[in-house]
Amino acid sequence: MTAIPTDITALLAEAEGLQLAFVRRAFRTDELAETLAALANAQGGMAIVGIAGKSKKLEGIADAAAARLAVLDAALACTPPLVLPLPEVVVVRDVTLLMLVVPAGLPHVYSVHGKYLRRLGATNQPIPPDALRKLLLERGETSWERLTPEGATLADLDQTKLGAYVRRVGAAAEADPLAFLFRRGCVARVAGNGSLEAGDDTVALMSNSQPSVPNYIPTNAGLLLFGKEVDRFFPQCEVTLLRYRGREMSDEFLREDIHDTLAETVRRAELWLSEHMRRGSRMVGLERQDWVQFPQGAVREALVNAVAHRDYTVRGEGIRIALFGDRMECYSPGRLPGHMTVENIVEERFSRNETLVQVLADFGLIERLGYGIDRMLRQMDEAGLPPPEFRDTAAGFLVTLRGRADDMPAEPSSTDTRAWRRMGLNERQVAALVHLTEHRRISNSELQELAPDVSAETLRRDLADLVERGLLLKIGEKRGAYYILK
């Protein structure tokens, strides 16, 4: 898919087309819903509210907040409801417009009042029966994240986490938090007749009580994102982190199991992986180069993609991420969704869990436009490492990152000391510098341990000489003094 430019000037220079639609200020909800559904059923794209069609006259919008709510209502008018990023307010030549992104690779086929449309050129056209059949086969999975577990209530959601999320989103959510969570697919609405509105599914309530006014209960997605006890409803939703000493699995390893809401799971797992990756320094000439086993950004993309896109209907196993001496393996239950294959994973987009992806994007943990794989490839390349390896297994999906192993020394004894020796430094001074590359600091007593047969005065002169040469800095005085690399 060709990337949609987000610069408003560039967009206004283009004509309406397959991935770009201009919407008049006085739009009808159903008309905008049809355009959004047509974009979603094709390749995604951008709709800009406040522009008069082919003439591209800038009409603008008078009330940005009201227009934003009307746009979200249009997304909700689709079947199933479209979960979209919040519209962005932009100003062009003193005219206020609203930009709305429809991501590519959404998991459903969307209709408006029974009409299935797709974007052809600059118009919304009915999808022919054969094409609709093919699209339904590609995308027609049941939306697990919009179903509701039996017995779940709003009391099962963590109000502190919900409040933090609503505040992060801002005015669009703060005006009516439950209505916004409904639009996002985090809660389902219970109507007065005892039926359940949860996207495209209507399910009879198990309870005998018949509420007289609409109420809300959490969906699977809502519990995964904001639940108090995620493992009570979804014991399969754990992330297991492992660190092996060598390049193969063995009986000696470190392990951490995380059962938490998805945003907290990502944060905790990322911190653990960062702390347990191999890292260090080496001296190249007189310069110290710090290195880490894998690019932090690539590790985060693999982790977030596993959490956001796994198949949560698979029970009995969770996500597993294992660090080895030469690689990281990230296994996610469930094979690639829809039309995705290992061969087209870089070019194509498909989101199995649109609600999870959008809320994680609201948290700033994932990019909704779906370019995480591209970034992972770029970050590995910039680090001089092989590209990620993707493999469909019998029951899941495996991502392997090949990291720094033999090419970057992990032990202090591997430090390149030739430049120091050419400067005429003695063996004690070289040993002190090697110690510093690994431990960041050295004291007189630590150097004494490295050279126990040498007098304390001689070692003091060795360190003073390194300070005079501009290689070390002395921190503190007398017994508390230590030295660091300058």
pLDDT at 251: 86
Residue 4 banded pLDDT, cuts 50, 70, 90: very low
Give the single-character DSSP code of 336.
P
Residue 275 lies in a domain: yes
Determine the Cα–Cα distance for residues 361 and 370; give it in Å rounded to an integer. 10
- 74 burial class (0-12, 13-18, 19+ CB within 10 angstroms)? buried
**How many other CB atoms are there within 10 angstroms of residue 94's CB atom?**
7
Q: Which string of DSSP letters, residue by residue, matches 75-119? A: HHTSBSPP--PPPEEEEETTEEEEEEEE-SS-SS--EETTEEEEE
Among residues 352, 384, 402, the one where a domain terminates is 402
Determine the Cα–Cα distance for residues 259 and 235; give it in Å rounded to an integer. 8
Residue closest to 427 by CA, chosen among 459, 455, 395: 459
Out of 50-54, 138-142, 145-149, 170-174, least confident range = 138-142
Residue 3 lies in a domain: no
Joined tokens for residue 471: 């290689």
pLDDT at 306: 92
Residue 368 reports pLDDT greater than 50:
yes
Q: 208 or 446: which carries more pLDDT confidence?
A: 446
Joined tokens for residue 197: 């509105």
Residue pLDDT, tens place only, 101-144 = 998 878 789 999 989 999 988 899 999 988 888 787 677 655 78
- Do residues 146 and 79 make contact, with C-beta atoms less than 8 angstroms apart? no
pLDDT at 207: 34
> Are residues 394 and 462 both part of a single domain?
no
pLDDT at 142: 59
Q: 48 or 213: which carries more pLDDT confidence?
A: 48
Residue 211 reports pLDDT greater than 70:
no
Residue 390 banded pLDDT, cuts 50, 70, 90: very high
At which residue do the structure tokens 């409801």 appear? Answer: 81
CATH number at 480 reads 1.10.10.10
Give the single-character DSSP code of 144.
G
Q: Which of 6-15, 70-79, 433-442 has the highest mean pLDDT?
A: 70-79
> Are residues 16 and 130 both part of a single domain?
yes
Number of compact structural domains in the chain: 4
Determine the Cα–Cα distance for residues 394 and 408; give it in Å rounded to an integer. 35
> Are residues 30 and 86 both part of a single domain?
yes
> Are residues 68 and 107 both part of a single domain?
yes
Give the single-character DSSP code of 124.
E
Residue 106, phi-psi category: left (phi > 0), alpha (psi -120 to 50), beta (remainder): beta
pLDDT at 309: 87
> Are residues 215 and 333 both part of a single domain?
no
At which residue do the structure tokens 């087209």 appear? Answer: 344
pLDDT at 202: 30
Q: 353 in helix, strand or coil?
A: coil
Rounded to 5°, the CA angle 77-371-222 comes to 45
Residue pLDDT, tens place only, 153-163 = 999 999 999 99
Q: 287 in helix, strand or coil?
A: strand
Joined tokens for residue 71: 């746009």
Residue closest to 374 by CA, chosen among 346, 333, 344: 346
Residue pLDDT, tens place only, 191-206 = 654 444 544 333 322 2
Residue pLDDT, tens place only, 6-37 = 577 777 888 888 999 999 988 999 999 999 99
Determine the Cα–Cα distance for residues 202 and 409; give it in Å rounded to an integer. 60
> Are residues 297 and 333 both part of a single domain?
yes
- Do residues 367 and 297 make contact, with C-beta atoms less than 8 angstroms apart? no
Residue 281 banded pLDDT, cuts 50, 70, 90: low
Residue pLDDT, tens place only, 229-263 = 998 999 888 999 999 988 889 888 899 999 999 99
Q: 58 in helix, strand or coil?
A: strand
Residue 339 banded pLDDT, cuts 50, 70, 90: low
Q: Which of 70-79, 277-286, 342-351 has the highest mean pLDDT?
A: 70-79
- Do residues 21 and 1 make contact, with C-beta atoms less than 8 angstroms apart? no
Residue 30 lies in a domain: yes
Among residues 172, 198, 233, the one where a domain terminates is 233
> Are residues 202 and 274 both part of a single domain?
no
Determine the Cα–Cα distance for residues 163 and 411; give it in Å rounded to an integer. 47
pLDDT at 206: 29
Out of 170-174, 349-353, 397-401, least confident range = 349-353
The residue segments making up the domain with residue 199 are 154-233
> Are residues 391 and 419 both part of a single domain?
no
- Do residues 309 and 349 make contact, with C-beta atoms less than 8 angstroms apart? no
> Are residues 453 and 364 both part of a single domain?
no
> Are residues 184 and 245 both part of a single domain?
no
**Helices in 390-450 by DSSP H: which ranges?**
418-422, 427-439, 444-450
Taking each helix axis as running N to C, give the angle between helix 177-184 and helix 159-169, from 0 to 180 degrees, rounded to the nearest 10.
80
Determine the Cα–Cα distance for residues 294 and 403; give it in Å rounded to an integer. 5
Range 449-457 contact pairs with CB under 8 angstroms and sequence separation of 24 or more = 454/428
At which residue do the structure tokens 């660090």 appear? Answer: 323
Residue 324 reports pLDDT greater than 90:
yes
Residue 1 lies in a domain: no
Out of 56-70, 185-199, 202-216, least confident range = 202-216
**How many other CB atoms are there within 10 angstroms of residue 245's CB atom?**
12
Residue 453 banded pLDDT, cuts 50, 70, 90: confident
> Are residues 166 and 121 both part of a single domain?
no
Residue 17, phi-psi category: left (phi > 0), alpha (psi -120 to 50), beta (remainder): beta
Determine the Cα–Cα distance for residues 34 and 289; give it in Å rounded to an integer. 56
Residue 144 lies in a domain: no
Determine the Cα–Cα distance for residues 114 and 116; give it in Å rounded to an integer. 7
pLDDT at 405: 61
| pLDDT mean across residues, the chain | 83
Residue closest to 241 by CA, chosen among 231, 251, 256: 256
Q: 129 in helix, strand or coil?
A: helix
Among residues 139, 165, 196, the one where a domain terminates is 139
Give the single-character DSSP code of 303.
H
Please give the average per-residue pLDDT across 384-388, as a whole number.
91
Residue 307 banded pLDDT, cuts 50, 70, 90: very high
> Are residues 181 and 285 both part of a single domain?
no
Residue 51 lies in a domain: yes
Q: What Cα–Cα distance (Å) separates residue 367 from each residue in 242, 296, 381, 412, 467?
A: 26, 16, 20, 39, 48
Beta-carbon contacts of residue 384 (< 8 Å; ≥ 6 apart): none
Q: Any idea how long the chain is?
A: 486
Residue 292 lies in a domain: yes
pLDDT at 204: 29
Residue 146 lies in a domain: no
pLDDT at 282: 63
**How many other CB atoms are there within 10 angstroms of residue 316's CB atom?**
8
